[in-house]
Amino acid sequence: MNRRKFLTGAATGVAAGAAAATLSAPAIAQGKRDLKMVTTWPKNFPGLGTGAQRVADRITAASGGKLNVKLYAAGELVPPFESFDAVSNGTADMYHAAEYYWQGKHKAFNFFTAVPFGFTANELDAWVHYGGGQELWDKLSAQYNLKSFMAGNTGVQMGGWFNKEINTLEDFKGLKIRMPGLGGEVLRR
Averaged pLDDT for residues 86-105: 95
Q: Say what the pLDDT of residue 27 is.
A: 54
Contact 99, 112 (CB under 8 A): yes
Q: 79-85 long-range contacts, Cβ below 8 Å, gap at least 24? A: 80/39, 80/40, 80/41, 81/40, 83/38, 83/39, 83/40, 84/144, 84/146
Residues 124-169 have pLDDT tens digits of 999 999 999 999 999 999 999 999 999 988 777 666 677 888 899 8
Task: Tell which residue, 147, 163, 151, 158, has the closest CA to residue 181.
Answer: 158
CA distances from 98 to 40, 105, 115, 149, 155 (A): 8, 13, 11, 11, 11
Global pTM reads 0.75
Q: How confident is the model at residue 67 (pLDDT cuts 50, 70, 90)?
A: very high
Q: What is the CA radius of gyration of the chain?
A: 25
Question: What is the residue extent of each domain of the chain?
Answer: 30-97, 102-151
Q: Say what the pLDDT of residue 126 is.
A: 96
For the CA atoms of 164, 169, 172, 178, the dihedral, rounded to the nearest 10 degrees, stands at 110
Averaged pLDDT for residues 168-188: 81
With vertex at residue 160, the alpha carbon angle to CA 154 and CA 161, rounded to the nearest 5 degrees, is 100
Task: Tell which residue, 98, 114, 86, has the closest CA to residue 51.
Answer: 98
Task: Tell which residue, 102, 133, 130, 139, has the closest CA to residue 118.
Answer: 133
Category of 120 on φ-ψ map: left (φ > 0), alpha (ψ -120 to 50) or beta: beta
Sheet of 67-72, strands arranged across: 67-72, 33-39, 94-96
Averaged pLDDT for residues 86-94: 97
| pLDDT surpasses 50 at 6 | no
Q: Say what the pLDDT of residue 15 is.
A: 40
Q: Say what the pLDDT of residue 7 is.
A: 40
